[in-house]
Amino acid sequence: MSDIKKVVLAYSGGLDTSVIVRWLQDTYECEVVTFTADIGQGEEVEPARAKAKALGVKEIYIEDLREEFVRDYVFPMFRANTIYEGEYLLGTSIARPLISRRLIEIANETGADAISHGATGKGNDQVRFELGAYALKPGVKVIAPWREWDLNSREKLLAYCDERNIPVEKKKGKSPYSMDANLLHISYEGINLEDPWAEAEEDMWRWSVSPEAAPDTPSYIEVTYEKGDIVAIDGQAMKPHEVLGHLNKVAGENGIGRLDIVENRYVGMKSRGCYETPGGTIMLRAHRAIESITLDREVAHLKDSIMPRYAEVIYNGYWWSPEREALQALIDQTQTYVNGTVRLKLYKGNVDVVGRKSNDSLFDEKIATFEEDQGAYDQKDAEGFIKLNALRLRIAAGKGRTL
């Protein structure tokens, strides 16, 4: 008899997690509580309720977390201009801390002994879910079925469903791409993408048209910032999740946001994946543009220097860590004067910054002009500046040192 009486499962209603519900009931002889989060994956989450009930689940949590997801996780991450390994906008990574937090909160509310998830033993998500859970509840028991069972193929999962009368949709032919979606992005892995040389099929993409099929006329948008976060588009105030939803639409229509990369997973292997992050691609370009006129040079360079470390912290699953909180505090402090508006041109997969303005701008036309500056800048001062900065180079060269 298991000492686990109740488990909270991160439940999507799909094949894997439906099997996990019954497997937990059979293996641990425990009650299962399901938690389904709407974080903008683009599919109805309410059907998960009927599926969970059919599996005998009595406590079912289905929650709309879209605004919280963007406001408290996506926006703070974008204040740092965060990208992992120079390309990945961390769409999957940033969703995991919120789900982990709610799993723990629901476990506390329901008196559950453990939490469970459907992440495999090969991926990053198992690490992210569990690091978050342990940070928030050190003694929590985590059950990861993919590390325990032998149901290591779609065929075995379907056979398990047949044996135990688990109602799931059965699709003929090849398994679909392994996909994960939220309001920030959608990811694709598996099938032909496991060959890094194979080009992704055009009909795989869901959120964007190809650049070739995008309109021949560019679209222009203006995004307005307050303290580093977008608060309005084209002068219309929007909530955080509305901002991202709107940007996803206009960017996708213009063929923006596709990415095909091979990344280094935290567990050690390389993995090829394709991502669509339409709105996030615009957000990154626009945020850097507004910072370019509002941030002090050394502050901007300091932010750039710590960004790769901040990206690794999030990618590896350490959102609920003291180092992320320390980095976040520094990043957020830099955003005090990151206010203003950026104008962008969207055209066939490209995002071009074509204008930026701010009442907090540090750009001084009188000093920067190539025309008469009326004494605002004394060019003779540059001579001493250059000589002082060249002093160590001149001394070394005088000693005969070479590079």
Per-domain residue ranges for the chain? Answer: 6-65+91-164, 178-357, 367-398
pLDDT-derived band at 175 (thresholds 50, 70, 90) equals: very low
- 369 carries a ligand binding annotation: no
Active-site annotation holder among 49, 72, 178, 373: 178
Active-site annotation holder among 66, 125, 258, 358: 125
Per-residue pLDDT reduced to its tens digit, 335-376: 999 999 999 999 999 999 999 999 999 999 888 888 888 888
Cβ within 8 Å of residue 311, ≥6 positions away:
80, 82, 83, 84, 85, 90
pLDDT value, residue 171: 52
CB 240 within 8 A of CB 280: no
> DSSP assignment, residue 176?
P
Backbone angles phi, psi at 311, to 5 degrees: -65, -40
pLDDT value, residue 373: 81
Is 216 one of the annotated active-site residues of the chain? no
Question: Of 328, 324, 320, whose CA–CA distance to 103 is shortest?
Answer: 320
Right CATH for 178-357 from 2.40.50.140, 3.40.50.300, 3.40.1190.20, 3.90.1260.10: 3.90.1260.10
Active-site annotation holder among 22, 96, 102, 356: 96
End-to-end CA distance of the chain: 72
Per-residue pLDDT reduced to its tens digit, 25-74: 999 999 999 999 999 998 889 989 999 999 999 999 999 999 999 999 99
CATH code for the part of the protein at 6-65+91-164 = 3.40.50.620
Per-residue pLDDT reduced to its tens digit, 267-325: 999 999 999 999 999 999 999 999 999 999 999 999 999 999 999 999 999 999 999 99
pTM: 0.94
Is 180 one of the annotated active-site residues of the chain? no
Rounded to 10 deg, the angle between the 297-315 and 278-294 helix axes is: 150
Please write down the HEC assignment for all residues of 200-237.
CCHHHCCCCCCHHHCCCCCEEEEEEEECCEEEEECCEE
Question: Of 282, 41, 23, whose CA–CA distance to 146 is shortest?
Answer: 23
pLDDT value, residue 285: 98
